[in-house]
Chain A
Amino acid sequence: MDLNFTTEELAFRAEIRQWVAANLPADISHKVHNALRLNKDDLQRWAKILGKQGWHGWAWPKQFGGPGWNAVQRHLFEEECALAGAPRVVPFGPVMVAPVIMAFGSPEQQQRHLPGIMSGEVWWSQGYSEPGSGSDLASVKCKAERRGDKYIVNGQKTWTTLGQYGDWIFCLVRTDSSGKPQTGISFLLIDMKSPGVTVRPIIMLDGEHEVNEVFFDNVEVPAENLVGEENKGWTYAKYLLAHERTNIADVNRGKRELERLKRIAKAEGVYEDARFRDQIALLEVDIVALEMMVLRVLSAEKAGRQSLDVAGLLKIRGSEIQQRYSELMMLAAGPYALPFIQEAMEAGWQGDQALSSLWPRGSTHCAPLASHYFNYRKTTIYGGSNEVQRNIVAQTVLG
């Protein structure tokens, strides 16, 4: 047992750190470090910078144009990006659909889609959830009927994160209703510019347009866009969900946000207040313990073992920690977290001239904190609610 990274791993980390420092645009990292609004251009600019280096698909094997890094190298890359203030890579293309295309897609699908995902040129969205199918994903109803060399898709997807920018969407669709819900699902790739696709925004409680509803009205999809076999989509979906385990804990971002929490607490004069400071100390221990759990999973993966039963705990703990730091940041600002000024989410906003007589002096950095607190309630709901995660964990203990 050894906590230290090897010399090679440390050299790898240094190389990544240097590269990120040289290539991450300062205006983007400024936004990330201050939790300001990232627009499509910010996200795609960073995706393309990574893509040019062949790192947008940083977890990809060499065979498909990825760097072929092991679990520890991937972790170090993610950590260096997070600590430097890089935006989270939008996962739907490189992290979610790409591994499915690699494992189950045809050579034609691989050649057609993987290069655009790696380069960051093509924006993918996820078409999993539907109204009425929350954590019970197998209940999807969006229907795809085979007609000749086409599927005709009718139905609705929802909670489609950043779907307003999407070029393509991967969908779980119902191709058979006769058997068990899991057995009639297929995995379909759909061009979002196809006639009959409509994207409608859902405005969240923080006023942000982050997610969408996507409607399919007699959308024609070439049959060649079916991944793998018809009615085997559930297997591919589970493969996809199992693929992202340590990443979802997002412990690296947690470390960065803990630093930010301390900065905010200092600015607001509560860092020296023992009662408040102790709450930060408790969170600090939570983050160290989570990081140790992540490292245990990585170490098992590096040794070729996937089944470590703590992996299921990472989503629960990681999301609880994300909520906790957003909560403490808001509480640090106290009453100055309350004014609701959406413009304050933009970089460079210092209190608009027209608002300056209304805006409390010296509190511009407090403006986004409550919005983030509200926004982060999603973390224990999405990706399989934490209650569903507890069912899975209980299964490992009780059978």
Chain B
Amino acid sequence: MDFDFTEDQESLRDAVRRFVDKDYGFEHRRATVRAGGFSQANWEGLAGLGLMGLAVPEAHGGMGFGAIDAMVVMEELGRGIVLEPYAQAALIAPAVLQHAGAEVQAAWLPRIAAGEVLVVLAHQERSARYRLDQMATLAEGQVLTGAKSLVPAGAHADAFIVPARTAAGIALYLVERGAAGVGTRPYLLQDGSAAAELSLDKAPATLLVPAPQGLAVLELAADIGIAAQAAEAVGAMDKLVAITAEYLNTRKQFGVAISSFQALRHRMADVKMQLELARSMSYYASLKLGEPAEARRRALSQAKLQLCQSTRYVGQQCTQLHGGIGVTDEYISSHYFKRLTAMEMQWGDSLHHLGEVSARMQDQAGVFA
């Protein structure tokens, strides 16, 4: 048992942090939001660090790194509330594609690792809420018909991983954005990131994972998404807590720094508690990704439930602790608050995961149960 990072992981962290500090400042981020929430230059910057190949096997030109390396990167991206969908493109897509046939892998994985293509998961449907097994999108032979929502950077992606119903259950397909019958309608999300509606009208598709195994791989993809987002949330909360602490130590009222007021100090202690609980469960999430499906799903739901509680508390309280400036657009903390809020509603909110944890409870509990 060991919770230390290796020297390589610390170097990786430093590299990402330097990029975020230097090339992803607050004003730069605001400009990116105004331009639609996705910047090709930012994306190329991330690719320039070699980060796109992180989870791609070495045989396909990647680095073949593991969940903890991914966690380190996500914490740092979270610290800078980076808008571009790194986890989708560099963690989830390669994990799903590794369940596809050799030919598909050879065609896509090296290009993902090189940062040449952006592939994202398009699974959300209007009627499904947070359920992964509910969808109307239909596969007939090798063509798909249906609609997906909230596709990250949907108007910029080169291809989509699309779950669809077949007679045998759920299968996963790859659909290229430029293919016939594919339409995207982009919009901004509340946190400033880019998303799109995806419409599929008899769109040609490549089979990645046949039914009924598609659902199990989709669940794995969601769990990778939860673990990545947990780390991202920890990075964002860590930074927001630091911003808030600095504010409390600077801002004066009644002639003294407001950090001297016990009501605010205790609130800050509670914020710190939620941050450290979240960090603990972020570690837990990444460390449990390799478990068998049932244990993995239980652990990831436990982690997401903690993360949902923590992000909401830390976001709300850090806004409150700032007073009026905290509810303005010009000040940085509100942008962290909005990102943290959006995270609760991605990959399942607290009520959804409470239901999952509750349904999966066993007589014994604990980290090793």
A binds B: yes
**Chain A hits for B312, CB < 8 A:** none
Residues of chain B within 8 A of A274, CB atoms compared: 358
Hey, which chain B residues are within 8 Å of A394, CB to CB? Answer: 265-266, 268-269, 272
Q: Is A138 an interface residue (CB 8 A)?
A: no
Interface residues on A, range: 35 or more
The reply to whether the CB of A277 lies closer than 8 angstroms to some CB of chain B is yes
**Proximity bits, B347-369, A CB within 8 Å = 1, else 0:** 00000001101100101111101
A296–B3 CB distance below 8 A: yes
Q: For A285, what are the chain B residues with a Cβ–Cβ distance below 8 Å?
A: 281, 302, 305-306, 357
Q: A288-B281, A292-B280 are in contact. Are A299 and B249 (CB under 8 A)?
A: no
CA of A295 to CA of B4 in the docked complex: distance in angstroms? 12
Are B366 and A255 in contact, CB atoms less than 8 angstroms apart?
Answer: yes
Q: Which residues of B contact A389 (CB under 8 A)?
A: 269
Q: A293 to chain B: which residues have CB within 8 Å?
A: 276-277, 280
Contact call A4/B1, Cβ cutoff below 8 A: yes
Q: What is the size, in residues, of chain B's interface with A at 8 Å between Cβ atoms?
A: 43
Chain B nearest Cβ from A387, distance in angstroms: 7
Residues of chain B within 8 A (CB-CB) of A391 are: 262, 265-266, 269
B interface footprint on A364-394 (CB within 8 Å = 1, 0 otherwise): 0000000000000000000000010111011
Pairwise interchain contact B358-A278, C-beta atoms closer than 8 A: yes
Do the beta carbons of A287 and B1 come within 8 Å of each other?
Answer: no
Within 8 A of A (CB), among B231-253: 241, 245, 248-249
Kindly state the separation between the CA atoms of A398 and B269 in the bound complex, as whole angstroms. 9
Set of chain A residues within 8 Å of B270, measured between Cβ atoms: 390
- CB of B272 within 8 A of CB of A3, answer no
Which residues of chain B from 247 to 287 have any CB-CB distance to chain A below 8 Å in the complex?
A: 248-249, 259, 262, 265-266, 268-273, 276-277, 280-281, 283-284, 286-287
| CB nearest neighbor in A for B301 | A285
How long is the Cα–Cα vector from A4 to B1 in the complex, in angstroms? 5
13 further A-B contacts with Cβ under 8 Å, apart from A255-B366, A291-B367, are A1-B283, A1-B287, A288-B302, A288-B367, A292-B283, A295-B3, A298-B1, A299-B3, A393-B272, A394-B268, A398-B245, A398-B268, A399-B259
A binding-site residues for B, Cβ under 8 Å: 1-6, 9, 72, 255, 258-259, 262, 274, 277-278, 280-282, 284-285, 287-293, 295-296, 298-300, 302-303, 310, 313, 316-317, 387, 389-391, 393-394, 396-399
A-B contact pairs, 25 of them (CB 8 A): A1-B68, A2-B287, A4-B1, A255-B369, A278-B355, A281-B361, A285-B306, A287-B366, A288-B302, A292-B280, A295-B3, A313-B272, A313-B273, A316-B269, A389-B269, A390-B266, A390-B269, A393-B272, A394-B265, A394-B269, A397-B272, A398-B248, A398-B249, A398-B259, A398-B268
Q: Which 7 pairs of residues, A with B, have the shortest CB-CB distance?
A: A292-B280, A394-B265, A281-B358, A390-B269, A393-B269, A3-B287, A299-B3
